[in-house]
Amino acid sequence: DSGVTQTPKHLITATGQRVTLRCSPRSGDLSVYWYQQSLDQGLQFLIQYYNGEERAKGNILERFSAQQFPDLHSELNLSSLELGDSALYFCASSVGGRTDTQYFGPGTRLTVL
Amino acid sequence: LAKTTQPISMDSYEGQEVNITCSHNNIATNDYITWYQQFPSQGPRFIIQGYKTKVTNEVASLFIPADRKSSTLSLPRVSLSDTAVYYCLVGDMNTGFQKLVFGTGTRLLVSP
Average pLDDT over residues B54-62: 94
CB A76 within 8 A of CB A9: no
Q: What local confidence, expressed as pLDDT, does residue B3 receive?
A: 80
Residue B5 DSSP symbol: B
A contact residues 12-41, partner B, Cβ 8 Å cutoff: 31, 33, 35
Partners of residue B72 on adjacent β-strands: B21, B63
Residue of chain A nearest B47, judged by CA positions: A101
Average pLDDT over residues A33-38: 93
Of A44, A97, A104, the CB nearest to B44: A104
Model confidence at B43, pLDDT cuts 50, 70, 90, reads very high
Q: What local confidence, expressed as pLDDT, does residue B94 receive?
A: 57
A contact residues 71-110, partner B, Cβ 8 Å cutoff: 88, 90, 92, 97-107, 109
> Any residues with CB less than 8 A from the CB of A54 and at least 6 apart, and which?
A47, A48, A66
**Higher per-residue pLDDT: A2 or A27:** A27
State the virtual CA torsion across B38, B60, B81, B8 in degrees, nearest 10. 50
CA distance A50 to B16: 41
Model confidence at A87, pLDDT cuts 50, 70, 90, reads very high
Average pLDDT over residues B31-56: 91
